[in-house]
Amino acid sequence: MTPRFLIDHGTATLSAALVAHLDGRWRLIASAAFPAGIETDAALAFVAERAAGLLDDAPDLRPVLPVLRGWRDLERIEALSAPPRRIALLAPTARRAADLEAAASQAGWLISARLTPERSDALAVSVAVADLELDALALAAADPPRADEREAVADLAAIAGAVVARRPDLVVVLSGAAAEQVDRFPFEQVVLAPAPPPLGAPRGGSDLSRILMALAGQPNGARLAAARTASTLATVLERTVESVDVGASGGAWFRATPPSADLVAGAMAEPDAANGALGPMATAELDGFLLAAGAMVPERALDDEEDLDAVIAWSPLRIDRPTHRDRLRDLRTRPWRDAAGDGALLRMAAGRAALARIEAERVRLGGAPAERMRAPDLIVLAGGAFALAPGPAVALAAADTIRRLGMTQVAYDHARLLAPLGVVGDSERASLVADLADDLLLPLGSVLVLSAGRPGREFGTLHVDSEWATGEAQPLASGALRLVELPPGAPARVELEVRDGRFGRTRARRVGFEATGGLAGLLVDTRGIPLRLPQRSERRREVLAQWQRTLWPGAE
Amino acid sequence: MAADALAGCRMTSSTPPDEGLFPEGELAQEGDLPIWLDEPPIGLDEPPTGPDPEPAPVPEPVPERRVAERPDPDDRATATSSAVERLVVGRPWLERGHRAWIPLEPGDRPAAAVGDTVTPLTVVAEHARDTRLVSVDPRDRDPARFPPGSRIGPRDARPRRRRGSLVDEGTVLYRSSRTRLNVAVGRHREPLHARADGTVMAVTPGGISLLLAGQALAGVAAAGRAVHGRLRIAVGDPGDELRSAGLHVADAGSIVVAGARVDVETLTRARALGIHGVVVGGMAGHDLRAFTRSQARQREALHSLAPFAVFVLEGFGRRSLAGPPWELLLAAAGTSVSIFPDPPLLVFDPAATLPQVARGTLRITAGAGAGTAGSIDGPAVIQRLEEGVHVLAVAFVGGGRRWLVPLADLERFQ
């Protein structure tokens, strides 16, 4: 099997990797990331040359060398993330608008306006619908409509229909009972969809959001492709995987739960006739969402300083607020620039803020609060926001924001392979993921998150048993972040003894975990769930810098 | 195999410890990890200053061998200079064929049709100010008679006993029933000009799309309304900041180049003096927002001022115009230019002779030496900088000096 390029065309960066089939399995040979907008061939030439340089030193890899000379002819598997499309939301009541907004935002749409008769007059609605940057509008009502909705929906449809008739490029989604107004719109521009489920319904995904996701062009997009690979990873590894992606134009959160052992056994007994791999019954359960506001610096932040200030709240930089905001605006408009020095810290702060935003949105969309969420076996971070930062700092960013009670391994999609792998067919992907699993993810470390009341209180002891740790039991105090050295790949057994006999909602005096090392080692985090930071900006900066100092020594 | 290698972390009660993500022994295998992890930390020759916008000081000269010594000997990812230049992100420079929008609001009446050729002073629409909505029962109740966007006058409406009857001509916004048209009526009307030579490509309820005839330069942001005027350089140096005292009454009707930064007070004074627009390298975001709000208030005023716009070329904060932008603006001084806010464009006269930037000219856009033009002098290598980040960097020669620059901080004029 000849080598092939895996290419992730992001909105800010282009990432290219070369994989080859060697010694009976696929291996990652080389990868690199570049600013988006350069010629793909220039990037591939660089990666091929880099690979050739590496292969010189590895005799067992030399068979690939002649093939690399003709790198232009190698197969290319490409994933593309496009900027989110814009949608205006119209609903008869504020409550229905909130339901509709939840469905649209988790499908990756950028919400340009949220209009209800209670808050917007006909002129305002007309201006918003005529917005030249708009790609679609959605009008929703309950099904069947409530008494107070029927008349308002007809009015909104009349206003929108007058504009849509002169905008043939606009897609109209009529959701629920709004479908009754279909006659007011050109037939070829209308998509009928079910009513939006109530905001915060237990299952985030809905038929409406799936339709909206398809209309947004997301099924072929890089973020959903990466989620598919995360799902395959969960199946292959039989581990629960959470993947969080933060890019320049949006973000995503997905959780893949492996199928039960019975299902896998059944599927293995009767492989899929078509592809010879595990049947569809054996695929992982995937739950999650795409989020335009999950971008490193969301677009709305250009006008909304609250969003910028939310990023600044994570920044350890000592510069004045207006300059801070301007640098973040620049990060939005030219996300690949200024990656060194202060720019690296600012980028990391933006990445952290985005992770926090995604986590908040997960709960708003009906997910369990972090303190009641079971820790996944593996958290996979992806996206350009973390591409340049040192691994330990990225692990800390994950620990700061994605807080799950218990032990979790954290890894990073360093070569940006998840998205291109998500483009290939299921069986081929399963085979590639199984082969590449060791190369696919960069192990950042393990994080043990504990919640134990007021800061400073000693609540138990911790015993780490590994080749590198001391092996002595150490007292555990709440409100602290402790680093235990554990090299990448090194296994450790961690035993926790809690005085009050409670671990989360479980009654247990002694709890054991397996941990796996990474660039950051093992982080024992007793800072509580959720993480509380000082309100005063100066104190907050000190605390953030103090935590970061250990894991990012060159940052100051 | 992978199922064994990737352990993840899980609470254990009875299962024995599993192997790690990267089992011992496999970790050091080449190809398993990104090769830059093994490289020694290498710092930039000058500490980066961020996108500081002040014409960033060019670093002190360094011996050429310093760069040559630093690249990791293990990293053999090399390429010729021309191949490396292709890894630098391109910056579209002067281009023809840009499209710009002239936004329309409810009640505005387009006066141009698709295919029309326009000049800066062609009236393309009539803008209705202080718009309100009036419900009208038309005499002719045929739904095809008054489609959205059509005109309707008092004679076309049935008289109404109560208040709100149509006394002026208005524009049909939408029809809510057979007997009820909702008409946008403005108290005042004013012409909207094309502001540039071009061709009308589309007329929609939201705006008129123009295919511009002249070459245009894309900017980072713009605010205000489309304007045109004669270009005048109001600062002596591309790194200067224009203050309100630097404006003159004689500048009325022109578009002034304000250097590296302008504040909202200067913009307000410029607008009051009758200046049509300002071109600037950078502007604080909060000033831009304050100006946008001020413009909106002006539009609502009974006697609104002439259109005014600001065009930001490089970024937010203070940004020097040094290099090709400054040379271009100097060459275009005295000719007619236009500013379009949507998208942010600075459009030059189609007949103007403008200096061409040599294709492939490189310039530093951020960090130390921002604004310096020059060339690449060596291969692209992945470097670990002092602060621990890994970037693709190149040796750069410009202004008689040579230093190491992250590839992403360069731009290549196309």
Q: Whole-angstrom Cα distance, residue A500 to residue A516?
A: 27
What is the CATH number for A148? 3.40.50.360
From the candidates B15, B32, B36, B389, which should be mutated to test the interface with A, based on the most A CB atoms within 10 A?
B389
Collect all residues of chain A within an 8 Å Cβ-Cβ radius of residue B221: 333
Q: Edge to edge, what strands does the sheet with B170-177 contain?
A: B109-110, B123-136, B180-193, B170-177, B151-152
Residue B180: pLDDT band (50, 70, 90) is confident
Q: Nearest-CA residue of chain A relative to B131? A: A123
Selecting from 3.30.70.270, 2.120.10.30, 3.40.920.10, 3.50.30.10, what CATH number does the domain B214-348 have? 3.50.30.10
Would A107 be classed as within a structural domain?
yes
Identify whether residues A235 and A341 lie together within a single domain: yes
Q: Whole-angstrom Cα distance, residue B394 to residue A431?
A: 38
Residue B274 has pLDDT above 60, yes or no: yes
What pLDDT score was predicted for residue A455? 76
- pLDDT (tens digit per residue) in A237-257: 999 999 999 999 999 999 999
- Rounded to a whole number of angstroms, the distance from the CA of B182 to the nearest CA of chain A is 9
Residue A340 has pLDDT above 50, yes or no: yes
| Domain final position from A174, A194, A215 | A215
Collect all residues of chain A within an 8 Å Cβ-Cβ radius of residue B78: 49, 53
Whether residues B367 and A408 touch (CB distance < 8 A) is answered with: no
Residue B155: pLDDT band (50, 70, 90) is confident
Collect all residues of chain B within an 8 Å Cβ-Cβ radius of residue A83: none
Token reading at A216: 């947004």
Hunting for tokens 């003894």 — which residue is that? A497
Identify whether residues A201 and A69 lie together within a single domain: no
Q: Whole-angstrom Cα distance, residue A128 to residue A414?
A: 41
Q: At what angle do helices A305-312 and A321-333 cross, to 10 degrees?
A: 100
Which of B2, B30, B409 lies nearest to residue A58, judging by beta carbons?
A: B30
Collect all residues of chain B within an 8 Å Cβ-Cβ radius of residue A135: none
- Rounded to a whole number of angstroms, the distance from the CA of A199 to the nearest CA of chain B is 31
- pLDDT (tens digit per residue) in A15-69: 999 999 888 889 999 999 998 889 999 999 999 988 888 877 777 777 777 788 8
Q: Nearest-CA residue of chain A relative to B148? A: A162
Would A507 be classed as within a structural domain?
no
Instruction: State mean pLDDT over A288-302.
Output: 91
Would A364 be classed as within a structural domain?
yes
Which of A38, A162, A237 lies nearest to residue B88, judging by beta carbons?
A: A38
Q: Whole-angstrom Cα distance, residue A462 to residue A476?
A: 6
- Compute CA distances A251 → A109, A294, B23, whole Å: 11, 4, 31
- Rounded to a whole number of angstroms, the distance from the CA of A123 to the nearest CA of chain B is 7
Residue A530 preceded by cis peptide, ω within 30: yes
Q: Whole-angstrom Cα distance, residue A517 to residue A519?
A: 7
Identify whether residues A75 and A103 lie together within a single domain: no
Collect all residues of chain B within an 8 Å Cβ-Cβ radius of residue A325: 285-286, 316
- pLDDT (tens digit per residue) in A175-185: 999 999 999 99
Whether residues A166 and B184 touch (CB distance < 8 A) is answered with: no
Q: Whole-angstrom Cα distance, residue B355 to residue B328?
A: 6
CB neighbours of residue A2 within 10 Å: 11
> What contacts A440, CB < 8 A, 6 or more positions away?
A28, A233, A413, A415, A417, A418, A421, A433
Token reading at A465: 């048993």
Give the three-class secondary structure for B184: strand
Whether residues A237 and B2 touch (CB distance < 8 A) is answered with: yes
H or E segment to which residue A243 belongs: strand A241-246
What is the CATH number for A74? 3.30.420
Q: Whole-angstrom Cα distance, residue A327 to residue A345?
A: 12
Whether residues A49 and B78 touch (CB distance < 8 A) is answered with: yes
Residue A193 has pLDDT above 90, yes or no: yes
Instruction: State mean pLDDT over B357-368.
Output: 82
Instruction: State mean pLDDT over B231-256.
Output: 92
Instruction: State mean pLDDT over A447-471.
Output: 82
Q: How many beta-carbon pairs under 8 angstroms link A with B?
A: 332
Q: Whole-angstrom Cα distance, residue B239 to residue A441?
A: 45
- Compute CA distances A62 → A21, B73, B74, whole Å: 12, 20, 17
Whether residues A333 and B315 touch (CB distance < 8 A) is answered with: yes
Token reading at B100: 């710009």
Identify whether residues A236 and A108 lie together within a single domain: no
- Bridge partners of A461, per DSSP, are A475, A497
Q: Which of B51, B16, B10 is nearest to B281 (CA)?
A: B51
The vertex-A459 CA angle with A453 and A465, nearest 5°, equals 125
Identify whether residues A280 and A372 lie together within a single domain: yes
Q: Edge to edge, what strands does the sheet with B99-103 contain?
A: B99-103, B207-212, B198-204, B117-118
Residue B53 has pLDDT above 60, yes or no: no
Identify whether residues A74 and A201 lie together within a single domain: no
Which of A117-126, A449-458, B22-31 shows the lowest per-residue confidence on average (mean pLDDT)? B22-31
Would A222 be classed as within a structural domain?
no
Residues 514-533 of A with CB under 8 A from B: 514-518
What pLDDT score was predicted for residue B74? 41
DSSP classification of residue A2: -
Residue A546 has pLDDT above 70, yes or no: yes
Identify whether residues A549 and A418 lie together within a single domain: yes
Q: Which of B34, B31, B45, B28 is nearest to B382 (CA)?
A: B34
H or E segment to which residue A343 belongs: helix A342-364
Tell me the domain boundaries of chain B.
35-91+360-413, 126-193, 214-348
Q: Which of B351, B359, B343, B360 is nearest to B309 (CA)?
A: B343
Residue A144 preceded by cis peptide, ω within 30: yes
| Domain final position from A215, A241, A276 | A215
Q: Which range marks the domain in which residue A76 is found?
A: 4-80
- Compute CA distances A206 → A140, A209, A300, whole Å: 14, 5, 25
Residue A259: pLDDT band (50, 70, 90) is confident
Whether residues A489 and B27 touch (CB distance < 8 A) is answered with: yes
- Compute CA distances B222 → B291, B298, B310, whole Å: 10, 17, 5
Residue A268 has pLDDT above 60, yes or no: no
Q: Nearest-CA residue of chain B relative to A20? A: B31
Q: Whole-angstrom Cα distance, residue A419 to residue A416?
A: 7
Determine contact, residues B267/B295, Cβ cutoff 8 Å.
no
ipTM of the complex: 0.86
- Bridge partners of B186, per DSSP, are B131
Which of A127, A409, A415 lies nearest to residue B21, judging by beta carbons?
A: A409
Q: Which of B236, B343, B369, B220 is nearest to B284 (CA)?
A: B220
Q: Whole-angstrom Cα distance, residue A272 to residue A428?
A: 13
Q: Which of B330, B321, B333 is nearest to B373 (CA)?
A: B321
Residue B79 has pLDDT above 70, yes or no: no
Cα B303 to chain centroid distance, Å, stands at 30
Q: For residue B230, which phi and psi values (nearest 5 degrees)?
A: -80, 135
Residue B35: pLDDT band (50, 70, 90) is very low
What pLDDT score was predicted for residue A1? 62
Would A275 be classed as within a structural domain?
yes
What pLDDT score was predicted for residue B93? 87
Q: What is the dihedral of CA B312, B318, B320, B326, to 10 degrees?
A: 30
Identify whether residues A391 and A305 lie together within a single domain: yes
- pLDDT (tens digit per residue) in B122-153: 999 999 988 888 888 888 878 788 888 888 88
> What contacts B307, CB < 8 A, 6 or more positions away?
B224, B225, B226, B227, B276
Residue A552 has pLDDT above 90, yes or no: no
Whether residues A407 and B22 touch (CB distance < 8 A) is answered with: no
- Rounded to a whole number of angstroms, the distance from the CA of A103 to the nearest CA of chain B is 26
Whether residues A439 and B26 touch (CB distance < 8 A) is answered with: no
Instruction: State mean pLDDT over B15-29.
Output: 30
- Rounded to a whole number of angstroms, the distance from the CA of B101 to the nearest CA of chain A is 9
**Most confident among A8-22, A192-206, A262-276, A540-554 (mean pLDDT):** A8-22
| Domain final position from A42, A59, A80 | A80
Q: Where are the beta strands (DSSP E) in A71-109?
A: 75-80, 86-90
Would A302 be classed as within a structural domain?
yes
Instruction: Please indicate whether residue A403 or residue A552 has the higher confidence score (pLDDT).
Output: A403
Identify whether residues A246 and A375 lie together within a single domain: yes
Would A482 be classed as within a structural domain?
no
Q: Nearest-CA residue of chain B relative to A308? A: B285
B25 burial (CB, 10 Å; 0-12 / 13-18 / 19+) is exposed
- Bridge partners of A286, per DSSP, are A256
What pLDDT score was predicted for residue A554? 67
Beta-strand pair B90-91/B198-204? unpaired
Q: Which of B282, B287, B277, B336 is nearest to B309 (CA)?
A: B277
Q: Whole-angstrom Cα distance, residue B147 to residue A151?
A: 22
From the candidates B1, B6, B108, B382, which should be mutated to test the interface with A, based on the most A CB atoms within 10 A?
B6
Per-position DSSP letters for A205-219, written without gaps between them: --HHHHHHHHHTTGG
Which of A267-276, A442-451, B210-219, B359-368 shows the lowest per-residue confidence on average (mean pLDDT)? A267-276
Q: Whole-angstrom Cα distance, residue B183 to residue A233?
A: 59
Q: Which of A437, A434, A270, A238 is nearest to B10 (CA)?
A: A238
- pLDDT (tens digit per residue) in A197-212: 887 776 545 889 889 9
Identify whether residues A123 and A239 lie together within a single domain: no
What pLDDT score was predicted for residue B42? 35
Q: For residue B250, which phi and psi values (nearest 5 degrees)?
A: -65, -15
What pLDDT score was predicted for residue A202? 64
**Most confident among A409-423, A522-536, A542-556 (mean pLDDT):** A409-423
Residue B414 has pLDDT above 80, yes or no: no
Q: Which amino acid is at B174?
A: Y
Would A52 be classed as within a structural domain?
yes
Token reading at A103: 């469905």
CB neighbours of residue A70 within 10 Å: 10
Identify whether residues A355 and A384 lie together within a single domain: yes
Which of B44, B86, B285 lies nearest to residue A326, judging by beta carbons?
A: B285
Determine contact, residues B272/B239, Cβ cutoff 8 Å.
no
Give the three-class secondary structure for B350: coil
Q: Whole-angstrom Cα distance, residue A400 to residue A497?
A: 24
- Rounded to a whole number of angstroms, the distance from the CA of B376 to the nearest CA of chain A is 15
Q: Does A236 touch chain B (CB under 8 A)?
A: yes
Q: Which of A241, A212, A211, A217 is nearest to A229 (CA)?
A: A241
Residue B56: pLDDT band (50, 70, 90) is very low
- Bridge partners of B130, per DSSP, are none
Q: Whole-angstrom Cα distance, residue B258 to residue B267?
A: 10
Which of A138-142, A503-507, B19-23 shows the lowest per-residue confidence on average (mean pLDDT)? B19-23
Cα A353 to chain centroid distance, Å, stands at 13
Split into its structural domains, chain A has a count of: 3
- Compute CA distances B262 → B100, B276, B370, whole Å: 25, 15, 19
From the candidates A25, A56, A334, A493, which should be mutated to test the interface with B, based on the most B CB atoms within 10 A?
A334
Q: Which amino acid is at B190?
A: E
Q: Which of B315, B184, B265 is nearest to A329 (CA)?
A: B315
Identify whether residues A289 and A160 lie together within a single domain: no
What pLDDT score was predicted for residue B50? 40
Residue A107 has pLDDT above 60, yes or no: yes
